[in-house]
Chains A and B, each alone.
Chain A
């Protein structure tokens, strides 16, 4: 834990220095030298780079403070002898963190709804060890609800990906649901709920047997 505390402090100090360097940058058209904007201008008031530069300067000093505390074993994480991430923590990162990463990554290709369905199925079936019926039902109904809510009701379309599923699937689906009135949409939501309830009943029975 102490090593992690020290590494994190160094990383934050480096980040602050990098941002301070970036804050001093002037656009090429202004023709001014780097760091000419972090002080006070001719009118006596601070210029554009002043705020981010000095904010990061304070952050840099505090990172050094944390670093010293870590080296002197003053802060609680530095005193604790345990590892930064135990085996369980690493597991959480690999089995949950990485799939969330993939959830976002796949959105660009196969659309957010399909990506959600795959993620839900993985999480419920593989991680949660739920039955295949319940897992599939959740993977179908949740994205369906999201689609009804975001794309249809709130007219805030979520990304459809580059693999051209848009025209083949979403356009006809969207046209169909947009032609329904409010009450029918409500019924569609309820139908989803019914599928979920039925699936959880079925999978319970499976567990009992």
Chain B
């Protein structure tokens, strides 16, 4: 019951005029960012990260900047559906699955049905996930408070292992991506002994770890833009949508009649997939689409304009984005690239992410959680009310949007780091990301690894110092840590799950080779 009281207080603070305004602006920016092809929640949040200083300065609260960033994240999840449906191009990778049925519905002349279903399913998915979040976060944080160095290292190992085991991308390429991120984070100085290391060519820019933002904006600003220009070839065709109040009402009715199953699958599955560090909203929505199709009584309608097929991925991507916040807020491990940016935001605001946040900063945590509920309500209202406006904005030529993104990326990196060296680094990262992306190298693992790299190394070395160099401290519950003879189960359990996840692809190869079973269907593994 204590949680309910805290949540209510949080919601009341989130409803204060200043916070409400920030939330509204964030949601509108998010909707726009999500709706524009090539721009997703990561790009939006990363490019706008420097504004948090301004927001903090003008409101004087730590919560307001986070409310702003989280609102962009939510808005983007709603917005992604708009271009998926109207242009047939996913507005963000999180809305890929929405094109499968949203686009056919639009081509049948029922674009408004798809848009309304997407908005309502998103709202329900987001709200259910918020309730889960409120229920799970405080107990998880209090368990995590007892974590020592070995436990935290095991958690990091699990985060990387989920990429390998569940990411669905080429395995060696995923590992290369993770390792690239880890190396970038270890440049500069050895944090424990203070010895300089990896200072390439003795450049002063390499005397500190590479800033996460530099990599994120390079990859998701410059690289992603080049990629979008390369793949869409600039030709898009927009469907017509006929929006009126009566049509919206009818479409809402259809959504509840025909889309309830997809919505409920997406809402619940999305949340739990979102919690996994590797996953985030993209696999969450693709998986929910797959499950909704598998369990549907009319699977043949999927891909031809099924309402369930729009509802499932849209409910899931909103639900997963809240799910991804859970490990970010309670453990300090981001569940998706966007939450990695939010985590960087926390650090910039001089808040220490992790379980202590709930204990030490309740004035920060609960208003932010309260704002999740508020942004959801704002997002669905704004989305439904301004559908015509967003359709008009989608007519904005890409040749105007693209250069704006490029200059925002450049200015954003400089504003955040005050270094031209980092701007150059951002450019080269963007170019490299573009080249790697063509060859199917996943880049989200690198973005997460650069955030987690420093802490992973520190915890590994501190744990090994403690155990005199024995890895038993991670894997053996009976390992004697302090001579007291007590047993520690948490780290070994997490570490062994991580090992199993890393080996999972191997099991599948063996199964396929020897049991001659059919290969796993992989159409949903983006």
Question: A residues within 8 Å of B by Cβ?
Answer: 1, 4-5, 8, 12, 16, 19, 22-23, 25-27, 30, 37, 40, 43-52, 55-56, 58-59, 62-63, 65-66, 69, 75-77, 84-85, 88-89, 92-93, 96-97, 100-101, 103-104, 107-108, 112, 116, 119-120, 123-124, 127-130, 138, 142-143, 146, 150, 153-154, 156, 158-159
Is B31 part of the binding interface, using a Cβ–Cβ cutoff of 8 Å? no
Tell which of A23, A27, A96, A150 touches B226, judged by Cβ atoms closer than 8 Å: A96
Asked if residues B229 and A48 are in contact (CB atoms below 8 Å), the reply is: no
Q: How far is the CA of A44 from the CA of B462 in the complex (A)?
A: 11
Nearest-CB residue, chain B, relative to A120: B403
Asked if residues B420 and A58 are in contact (CB atoms below 8 Å), the reply is: no
Asked if residues B407 and A56 are in contact (CB atoms below 8 Å), the reply is: no
Asked if residues B427 and A101 are in contact (CB atoms below 8 Å), the reply is: yes
Known: A26-B195, A48-B193, A75-B170. A8 touches B439 (CB 8 A): yes
Which of B460-475 touch A at CB < 8 Å?
A: 460-461, 464-465, 467-470
Tell which of A8, A49, A103, A127 touches B435, judged by Cβ atoms closer than 8 Å: A8
Nearest Cβ distance between residue A123 and chain B, in whole angstroms? 4
Nearest Cβ distance between residue B503 and chain A, in whole angstroms? 15
For chain B, the count of residues having a C-beta within 8 Å of the partner chain is 62
Asked if residues A56 and B179 are in contact (CB atoms below 8 Å), the reply is: yes
Chain B 163-195 per-residue mask, 1 if CB under 8 angstroms from chain A, else 0: 000000010110110011011001000101101
Q: How far is the CA of A20 from the CA of B272 in the complex (A)?
A: 38
Q: How far is the CA of A85 from the CA of B438 in the complex (A)?
A: 8
Residues on the A chain within 8 Å of B329, using CB: none
Main secondary structure of the interface of A (DSSP, over half): helix
Stretch at the interface among B236-244, B292-300, B332-340, B409-417: B409-417
Q: How far is the CA of A104 from the CA of B412 in the complex (A)?
A: 13
Residues on the B chain within 8 Å of A62, using CB: 172-173, 175-176, 179
Nearest Cβ distance between residue A79 and chain B, in whole angstroms? 11
Is B136 part of the binding interface, using a Cβ–Cβ cutoff of 8 Å? no
Stretch at the interface among B60-68, B196-204, B317-325: B196-204
Q: How far is the CA of A101 from the CA of B411 in the complex (A)?
A: 14
Q: How far is the CA of A128 from the CA of B399 in the complex (A)?
A: 5
Tell which of B415, B424, B464 touches A44, judged by Cβ atoms closer than 8 Å: B464
Question: B residues within 8 Å of A by Cβ?
Answer: 50-51, 53-54, 170, 172-173, 175-176, 179-180, 182-183, 186, 190, 192-193, 195-198, 200, 222, 225-226, 229-230, 233, 397, 399-400, 402-404, 406-407, 410-411, 414-415, 418, 420, 423-424, 427, 430-431, 434-436, 438-440, 457, 460-461, 464-465, 467-470
Tell which of B50, B176, B399, B418 touches A63, judged by Cβ atoms closer than 8 Å: B176
Known: A8-B435, A119-B407. A51 touches B440 (CB 8 A): no
Q: How far is the CA of A37 from the CA of B435 in the complex (A)?
A: 34
Known: A92-B229, A142-B407, A153-B54. A130 touches B400 (CB 8 A): yes
Tell which of A55, A58, A143, A156 touches B415, judged by Cβ atoms closer than 8 Å: A156
Asked if residues A66 and B403 are in contact (CB atoms below 8 Å), the reply is: no
Nearest Cβ distance between residue B258 and chain A, in whole angstroms? 36
Asked if residues A158 and B414 are in contact (CB atoms below 8 Å), the reply is: yes
Residues on the A chain within 8 Å of B460, using CB: 46, 51
Q: How far is the CA of A101 from the CA of B218 in the complex (A)?
A: 12
Residues on the B chain within 8 Å of A127, using CB: 399
Known: A44-B465, A124-B400. A55 touches B420 (CB 8 A): no
Asked if residues A100 and B170 are in contact (CB atoms below 8 Å), the reply is: no
Residues on the A chain within 8 Å of B197, using CB: 22-23, 25, 48-49, 52
Asked if residues A104 and B427 are in contact (CB atoms below 8 Å), the reply is: yes
Q: How far is the CA of A96 from the CA of B233 in the complex (A)?
A: 13
Known: A23-B198, A154-B53. A104 touches B410 (CB 8 A): yes
Residues on the B chain within 8 Å of A1, using CB: 439
5 smallest A-B Cβ distances: which pairs? Answer: A128-B399, A48-B190, A44-B469, A123-B403, A45-B465
Residues on the B chain within 8 Å of A146, using CB: 407, 411
Asked if residues A104 and B424 are in contact (CB atoms below 8 Å), the reply is: yes
Known: A69-B172, A150-B415. A96 touches B229 (CB 8 A): yes
Q: How far is the CA of A112 from the CA of B419 in the complex (A)?
A: 12
Nearest Cβ distance between residue B36 and chain A, in whole angstroms? 15
Known: A4-B439, A97-B226. A65 touches B172 (CB 8 A): yes
Asked if residues A150 and B411 are in contact (CB atoms below 8 Å), the reply is: yes
Residues on the B chain within 8 Å of A55, using CB: 179, 182-183, 186
